[in-house]
Amino acid sequence: MEQPGVLAGPITQRSVVQNLLREVVLHLPLLFSNGANMNALYMDDSYLKEFEAKVESVTKGGENKFFIVLDKTAFYPDSGGQPYDTGKLTKGDVEYPVVYVGKFSGNISHEVSREGLKEGDVVKGVIDWERRYALMRMHTAAHLISEVFHRDSGAFITGNQLGLDKSRIDFSLEDFDREKMSEYFAKANEIVEKDLNVKTYFLPREEAIKIENITKLANVLPPNIKELRIVEIDGFDIQADGGTHVKSTKEIGKIEFIKAENKGKNNRRVYFKVV
């Protein structure tokens, strides 16, 4: 079974590109600014911890499961290898714990474990900031590591999964050389120490597809997509990305190389954490 954020199949340069494009298509809604994403507040501000919103719909699931769609939200939904946010919605003095956030039929849905909210209610959303910030640091670290590996070895990403305690990235890498990998992590930490700015912004489709690597997206983008969300590490890396990130590489802290695994021909899995 394919795990979240993992691209299965034989690892060749052609299949890597195909898999990367497939992953982009699967997560198109998180990369672009038009349509339903106009209510995704984290797209403009990863540091937003609290917000007010109106309940648009409530759907009952199983026991103690209620799915809430808001007119806007700062909660990040589970997607693209980045886990969902948790936290709470409050109305008056009543708290509704948010235990899962996903995206379904174009809507960001918040699973709460308490009954009581109804359509039209105005609520306050509060993000579990410790969890969110840990994942922001992990996500930006993953961009640094991936770019260092790509620059030094030409490796492509074939899968990833961020976590709170550790994260992993799968690379299409011919050599299984742990010493080299340790050197790549040392280079990534050098970039961390440079305290480079990390910025997110939107580019018109015509400009974005001129960027190296992003140009691969040109033929898979739906014609109604007019803007792409870009995450740029100043002077080092630029990617189309829909996740949450820190504002500076220094915020990442130290990146530690945990271990590497051989996952088959030209497929290496690398585990890391930030401290």
Over residues 161-219, the pLDDT tens digits come to 999 999 999 999 888 899 999 999 999 999 999 999 999 999 998 888 888 767 555 55
Report pLDDT digits (tens) over 58-95: 999 988 899 999 999 999 999 989 999 999 999 999 99
- Written as six digits, the tokens of 67 are 């799915």
Residue type, 31: L
Tell me the CATH number for domain 38-127. 2.40.30.130
Neighbours of 227 (CB within 10 A): 17
- The candidate with the shortest Cα–Cα distance to 43, out of 31, 35, 54, 52, is 31
Q: How far apart are CA 185 and CA 272, in angstroms?
A: 9
247 by Cβ neighbours in 10 Å (0-12 / 13-18 / 19+) ranks as middle
Mean of the per-residue pLDDT values of the chain = 86
CA 36 remoteness from chain centre: 17
| Res 95: pLDDT | 98
pTM of the model: 0.86
Nearest Cα neighbor of 110 from 161, 34, 51 is 51
Buried b (16+ CB within 10 A) or exposed e, 136-173: bbbbbbbbbbbbbbbeebebbbbbbbbeeeebbbbbbb
Structure tokens at 139: 């996500």
- The CA R_g of the chain, rounded to the nearest whole Å, is 19
Yes or no: say if 231 and 133 are a contact pair by the CB < 8 Å rule.
no
Homologous superfamily in CATH for domain 13-30+132-274:
Threonyl-trna Synthetase; Chain A, domain 2 (3.30.980.10)
Domain boundaries of the chain, sorted by first residue: 13-30+132-274, 38-127
pLDDT at 1: 30
Amino acid at 134: A
